[in-house]
C-alpha cells in the first residue's frame, strides 16, 4: 500500500498485534492501531497513531467510515470473541475492504485429541458463563487466564476466592478488578504474556490447580 493510499486499521492488544504494528510501521503504509487499554497502548512502539478504548459494533462501524481503510486486521486476543464478532459485524457488506483475522499458531479450530493421547480432556464451551457452569459441579483450583474483563462471571462459583488463581495483565485496572471481587494478592499472577507450555505447567503445579 503506497503512501497516501487507503489506510490499514489494526485491532491489537496481543503480542501478535504489537509485532504486526512494529512491522507495518516500517512500511510505507498509513495505519491506525486500536487497543482497549492504556497498557496495550504503552506496549506499542512510539510514533504510531493509536486509538485507546473499547468499541462496540456501532463504534467500529463509525471508525471504519471515518478511516476508510483498505485492510482491517483483527489481532485481538483469542478469548475476545465478542470483539472479533463486533469487528466482523461492522465490516460486513463493506465493499472494497478486506478483513484478516490473525490466529495464533495451532488455532485451527479442530478439537484436540486430549483423552485419546492419555492427557486430560479438553472441554469446549461457547462462553465463559458456560465454563463456570461446568466448573461449578467439580472440585479443585482453577487457573483463570481469560482476563479481568470476564472475571466477575467466576464469582458465581462457590468458594471462588479460594478456588481461583487469576492471571492478568500487570495493569492497575486489572488488579483493581480482582480486588473488587475480594481476590487476595496471593491468588493473583500479574504478568505479561505470551506464556510457554512449560510456564503454564509450572503455574498449574505451583498453585495446585486442577483446571486451566
Sorted by where each starts, the structural domains of the chain and their CATH numbers stand as 8-101 (3.40.50.20), 118-211 (3.40.50)
pLDDT band with cut points at 50, 70 and 90 for residue 193:
confident
Summarised one tens digit per residue, pLDDT across range 94-125 is: 888 999 998 866 554 444 444 444 566 788 88
Give the model's confidence band at 142: pLDDT under 50 very low, under 70 low, under 90 confident, else very high. Answer: very high
What does pLDDT average to over the chain? 85
DSSP one-letter code for 120: P
How sure is the predictor about 207, in pLDDT bands with cuts at 50, 70 and 90? very high
Mean per-residue pLDDT, 32-36: 92
Separation CA 186–CA 165 (nearest Å): 8
Q: How confident is the model at residue 36 (pLDDT cuts 50, 70, 90)?
A: confident
φ, ψ at 41 (rounded to 5°): -65, -45
Question: Cβ distance 31 to 21 under 8 Å?
Answer: yes
Among 167, 173, 163, 172, smallest CA distance to 190 is for 167
Percent of the chain residues topping a pLDDT of 90: 50
Where is mean pLDDT largest: 14-18, 66-70, 75-79, 136-140?
66-70
Q: Does residue 186 contact residue 165 with C-beta atoms inside 8 Å? A: no
Q: What is the Cα–Cα distance from 9 to 63, expressed in whole angstroms?
A: 9
Amino acid at each position: 500500500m503506497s503512501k497516501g493510499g487507503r489506510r490499514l486499521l489494526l485491532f491489537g492488544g496481543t503480542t501478535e498485534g504489537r509485532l504486526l504494528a512494529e512491522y507495518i510501521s516500517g512500511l510505507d503504509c498509513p495505519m491506525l492501531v486500536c487497543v482497549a487499554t492504556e497498557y496495550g497502548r504503552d506496549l506499542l512502539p512510539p510514533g504510531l497513531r493509536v486509538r485507546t478504548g473499547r468499541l462496540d459494533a456501532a463504534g467500529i462501524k463509525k471508525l471504519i467510515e471515518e478511516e476508510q481503510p483498505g485492510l482491517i486486521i483483527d489481532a485481538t486476543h483469542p478469548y475476545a470473541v465478542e470483539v472479533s464478532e463486533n469487528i466482523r459485524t461492522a465490516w460486513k457488506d463493506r465493499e472494497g475492504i478486506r478483513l484478516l483475522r490473525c490466529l495464533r499458531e495451532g488455532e485451527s479450530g479442530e478439537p484436540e485429541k486430549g483423552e485419546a493421547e492419555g492427557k486430560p480432556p479438553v472441554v469446549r464451551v461457547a462462553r465463559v458463563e458456560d465454563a463456570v457452569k461446568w466448573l461449578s459441579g467439580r472440585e479443585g483450583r482453577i487457573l483463570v487466564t481469560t482476563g479481568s474483563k470476564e472475571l466477575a462471571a467466576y464469582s458465581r462459583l462457590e468458594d471462588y476466592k479460594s478456588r481461583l488463581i487469576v492471571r492478568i495483565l500487570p495493569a492497575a485496572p486489572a488488579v483493581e478488578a480482582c480486588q473488587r471481587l475480594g481476590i487476595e494478592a496471593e491468588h493473583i499472577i500479574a504478568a505479561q504474556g505470551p506464556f510457554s507450555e512449560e510456564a503454564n505447567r509450572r503455574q498449574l503445579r505451583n498453585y495446585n490447580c486442577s483446571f486451566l
